[in-house]
Amino acid sequence: MKRRRALLIVLSLVGALGVAGRYAWRSYTAPVPPHVPLEGVPEEKVERIRTAQQAVRATPRSGAAWGELGLTLLANGFLEQSIPCFAHAHKFSPKEPRWPYFLGSTMLTSGRREGFDKMRDALALARTPKDRRAVLLPLARALVQDGQFDEAAKRTEELRAIEGDSPTVDYVLGLLAVGRNDRETARAHLGRVTDHPCARLRACTLLVAVVDDEKVAREYLRKSADMPMDLPWPDGFEDDLARYRIDSNRGLARYTELYDKGQHEEALVILRELVANSPEPGTCFMLGFTLMSRNEFAEAAANFRKASQLSPRDAKLHMFLSMALSLQGQNRLNAPGGQAEAAQLFRDAVQAADTAIRLRHGLVDAHLTRGQALKNLGLLPEAIASFRQAVLIGPEFAEMHQALGEALAESGQLREGIEYLENAVRFAKPKETKPQQALDKWKPKAKTP
């Protein structure tokens, strides 16, 4: 009986020691989160990262916890630190395709070719068509870029097997054909996606170089010039990443959201509240800008002034203040008895523009605004000098040439003025008619003896 009890105790002790040993061994060998330099990082981001790190420390063999930490780090600018996290996530959740995918794509972003193998691992693990597509598209693109054309073609065929002859397939086959210098095939595939929102800009710009007809090429180039940036292809994994990104300026984000939805009045209310509660330069500027677009120049100027007081080294704020004052001055000029007030506003506008130029000489609009205010004050030679600076800094802007041309013409220097007005017409955008109107006004006078 005693022997049996002793044996039992010994066995229990051995068992307990075994369990403790295993626990100790696992704790000892458990991976720890990578060091993340958080000094200077906004509190919100730090908090989120620390939470994810704590989750990993609590369950250091959880693939999900490591993956979450990796995504949090990647979405908030710690790309290198996210790599070991995804590696651990892959190790502890070996059946989950997301982790080798992020590991691979992050490695490729940082120039490590092992990323291709990780992407291939992810593809092998991806079972659903959605997951396979999420891996196949970026993998095929990366392979094309790397010059691995045969495998890229194979992956594109796999993509075709999932979604048929889709714009995605045409897009990748188009890129592949460009890489292989197969111009005819490139034309065929890219030609099919010139209107697709995720490919149109890139397709059109690539087609410029692969079409043989110069006229058609020029047409593609013209078309691409008016296009917005291509949208990203819908991607299950990458879309996930956006959820982990922490945006610190939520107030303005709310304003932008409302404004973009066309709820301008509600957006303005939000903006006014923001300025009243925490008058930051950015919000004051935004309010001033919004008010100026509604022709409420006095209040706009007040907000630009407030912004420039809060951030006195920001040339742009002084320039906008100058612009608002100048426009307010022009309004007063047309009002009965408003001339003295207008003159003061123009003088203030010149002063604000001078401050802007002192802070940032290359701010072309400050020279233009200054010139216009000087012209309104009747100081034509000084205005011309300002406009000349504007042309020197921004020779590509029709506005600058027009302002200088008109000022020169008004001061009697017609020949030179016409030259600048002709430049203005040359640089004007298709629907910009003012330069032509100014030229039409002054050109006949130049011919008059």
Q: Does 203 bind another protein (CB under 8 A)?
A: yes
Q: Between 254 and 360, name the residue whose CB sits nearer to another protein.
A: 360
Task: Identify the residue among 78, 233, 346, 387 touching another protein (CB under 8 A).
Answer: 78
Task: Decide: is 223 part of the binding site for another protein (CB under 8 A).
Answer: no
Give the phi and the psi of residue 74 in degrees, each rounded to 5: -60, -45
What tokens does 235 get?
Answer: 């991607």
Q: Classify residue 242 by burial, with Cβ atoms within 10 Å: 0-12, 13-18, 19+.
A: exposed
Position 322 contacts another protein (CB under 8 A):
no
Determine if 83 is a binding residue for another protein (CB under 8 A).
yes
Site for another protein in 7-36 (CB under 8 A): none
Among 57, 154, 261, 313, binds another protein (CB under 8 A): 313
Q: If DSSP codes are grouped into helix, strand and coil, which group holds residue 429?
A: coil
371 binds another protein (CB under 8 A): no
Q: Which of 121, 131, 314, 348 binds another protein (CB under 8 A)?
A: 314
Helices (H) and strands (E) in the chain, counts: 24, 0
Give backbone dihedrals phi and psi of 251, rounded to 5 degrees, phi first.
Answer: -60, -50
Q: What distances in angstroms separate CA 118 from CA 46, 339, 357, 431, one per listed residue?
A: 29, 73, 53, 51
424 sits near another protein (criterion: CB under 8 A): no
| 217: its two tokens | 């090429």
> CB atoms < 10 A from the CB of 321, how many?
30
Taking a C-beta distance cutoff of 8 angstroms, is the pair 220, 208 a contact?
A: yes
CB of 217 to another protein, least distance (A): 6
Site string for another protein, 233-262 (x = CB under 8 A): ---------------x--------------
Q: Which stretch binds another protein (CB under 8 A): 13-21, 37-45, 53-61, 406-414?
A: 37-45
- What are the CA-CA distances from residue 19 to residues 27, 123, 395 (Å)? 12, 38, 78
Establish if 197 lies at the interface with another protein (CB under 8 A): no
- Of 351, 348, 318, 315, which Cα lies nearest the Cα of 332? 348
State which of residues 15, 18, 42, 381 lies at the interface with another protein (CB under 8 A).
42
Name which of 17 and 209 has its Cβ closer to another protein: 209
Separation of alpha carbons 372 and 331, rounded Å: 14
- Single out the segment in contact with another protein by CB under 8 A; choices: 21-29, 71-79, 97-105, 118-126: 71-79
- How many positions of this chain bind another protein (CB under 8 A)? 61
Candidate segments 156-164, 172-180, 257-265, 296-304, binder of another protein by CB under 8 A: 172-180
CA distances to 7, 78, 98, 100, 284 from 65, rounded to whole Å, are: 42, 17, 13, 15, 42
Report which of 64, 69, 61, 70 is spatially closest to residue 30, judged by C-alpha positions.
Answer: 61
Tell me the backbone φ, ψ of residue 14, rounded to 5 degrees.
-60, -45
Is 103 an interacting residue with respect to another protein (CB under 8 A)? no
Nearer to another protein, 210 or 345 (CB): 210
Tokens of 190: 């890219």
**Residue 311 lies near another protein (rule: CB under 8 A):** yes
Q: Rounded to whole angstroms, how far apart are CA atoms 171 and 148?
A: 17
Taking alpha carbons only, the member of 166, 99, 159 closest to residue 129 is: 159
State the minimum distance, in angstroms, from the CB of residue 114 to another protein: 7
Among 162, 188, 198, 221, binds another protein (CB under 8 A): 221
Tokens standing for residue 71: 């995504």
The set of residues, in sequence order, having a beta carbon less than 8 Å from that of 407 and lying 6+ positions away, is 371, 375, 380, 383, 384, 387, 417
In this complex, which beta carbon is closest to another protein, that of residue 180 or of residue 347? 180
Q: Can you tell me which of 59, 62, 185, 205 binds another protein, judged by CB under 8 A?
A: 205
Residue 222 touches another protein, criterion: CB under 8 A: no
> Where does this chain touch another protein (CB under 8 A) — which range of 24-32, 126-134, 162-170, 314-322?
314-322
* Residues within the interface to another protein (CB under 8 A): 37, 39-42, 45, 76-78, 80-81, 83-84, 109-114, 141, 144-148, 175, 178-179, 181, 202-203, 205-206, 208-209, 214, 217, 221, 248, 311, 313-316, 359-364, 389, 391-396, 401, 423, 426-427
